[in-house]
Amino acid sequence: MFWSGAAIGGVGVVCSLMLVSLPKHQPKTTVGGITQKLADFKNQMRLLPYYSPSILRRALFFSFMMVLPLYLHEELGVSFTSVALYFTISAVITATLMPLTGHLADKVSSGRIILYTLLAMGALIASFGLTQDIMVFTVLFVLETIAFAIMLPAGMKFFADIVQEHPQRGSILGLFGSVTEIFTLFLAVTIFPLYAVNSTLTWFALGAMCIIAVLPFFSAPHPGIVLQPIEDESRSSK
């Protein structure tokens, strides 16, 4: 089922990337125009590391949907019916805390919140694979969910502050949305083979995603900075 979904999603991503927005008066494509588009693309991709909290939101939820039921049932002996309680717990915690953590992100440095919570999430997720005790796993899961609920509003605020006055913010969000889906499709076709090799290694890999995502925030720009598009030299010299 997941492989079929990945294939269908892949077709959708390819089609979306092929869509071209045509202006009313379509100009001829010139070398300078191509150079400017490449410069814009390069400029936009510089912001991708700071979009990682939103990518993780999608990637981790998708991964948990696949791995969590298998791990709880096969390794910890939890019935498939009871597995649903973990997703319910996650939904209740995030729905309850996010209005409060959103307020926290307005009062405290969002970059620091992202830094500490992603580190915590990485350590907690990696720890999932180290326990065979259902109570310990449940405590770790609840703590990871709390860290996620604190991280996400700060992550969204941080990125919104960076691009709030960027003239290409719509294009940036569209591009990063496609990147998110492509990464999710990559997980769809790799996470089950990885789980078949070693379930503990799978949790380590998911925790490592959080650790990798946190690296740019050790030297992140101040929230509110506007990274203007890079103009190509041919245009600026005129």
Q: Left (φ > 0), alpha (ψ -120 to 50) or beta: where does 77 sit? A: left
The full length of the chain comes to 238
Residue type, 143: L
Which domains are present in the chain? 55-218 (1.20.1250.20)
* Global pTM exceeds 0.85: no
Q: Left (φ > 0), alpha (ψ -120 to 50) or beta: where does 21 sit? A: beta
Average pLDDT, the chain: 81
* DSSP run (H or E) holding 86: helix 80-107
Mean pLDDT value across residues 136-140: 95
Report the pLDDT value the prediction gives residue 32, as an integer from 0 to 100: 58
Start-to-end Cα distance in the chain = 56
**pLDDT band at residue 213 using 50, 70 and 90 as cut-offs:** very high
Q: How far is CA 65 from CA 150, 152, 192, in A?
A: 21, 19, 12
Cα gap 68→128, rounded to integer Å: 10
- Which pLDDT tens digit goes with each residue over 105-122? 999 888 899 999 999 999
